[in-house]
Structure 1
Amino acid sequence: MRKTYIVDSGVQNGSDIRFLLQENPQENEVKAGGQLITDSDNYAFVYLMDVVDGYIYVQFPKTVWPLLAASLDADKEPVLTWGQTEFSLDNFREELSMLIFNIEGNHNYGEEFSSAVEEAFKEQLSLS
């Protein structure tokens, strides 16, 4: 079973966006994986972090979607502050952008999830 960590908050200072995890990683040698997927059942986006024996999930629930949307307008990747460690979330903005445009009008993710994504990212989707 893969370990899942849930981002509980974040902060924005200009184009600097930081997502916060309060608990310290239990794994050694954690690296940004550069891939973002969805968890439509839990209304979340999930960033994959590489570890020695595979990967772990960092879940971004709907409560932090406003910061996800802001990260698309920023000029650099957001940072994950995890205990005392900081990770640049490589490829985050490109992956998120690709996902929201794929989800728009696509009810394969579930109609409620698709609608929630369209509402949360309506400004970014209107720019296409």
Structure 2
Amino acid sequence: MTSETPERSPEVLDFRRETVGQSTVLQVIGEIDTDTAPLFREHLAAARRDSTERLVVDLSGVTYMASPGLSVLIEAHNEHRRLNTRLLVVAGSRATRVPIMTTGLHAQLDVVITLEQALPS
């Protein structure tokens, strides 16, 4: 398992990326709103470029998720479909699970509750 140091942004959003087997895990910590969604998009794109077959976006550390963050997830999902790769979203916290469920995105995205569910055994 390899790990990179967390990157701190001025907008209260942190990212950690690690490789677990054949999966790249992007852990997101903080608030995803209008101000931080562009940074979220950049980190997702970089993780996608570096990942092989599976990118896991772990939103367990997200404390607030506004609609711009949901839009970024949809864009990433569509890009992964186009590339024939897999994007899994860990939405274990209420702050992420409720917006994803309320908007019906759980039917479009590949959503799990825990990181363990997202990683192959």
With normalisation by structure 1, the TM-score equals 0.30
Structure ranking higher on relative contact order (CA contacts 8 Å, 6+ apart): 1
Greater C-alpha Rg: 1
With normalisation by structure 2, the TM-score equals 0.31
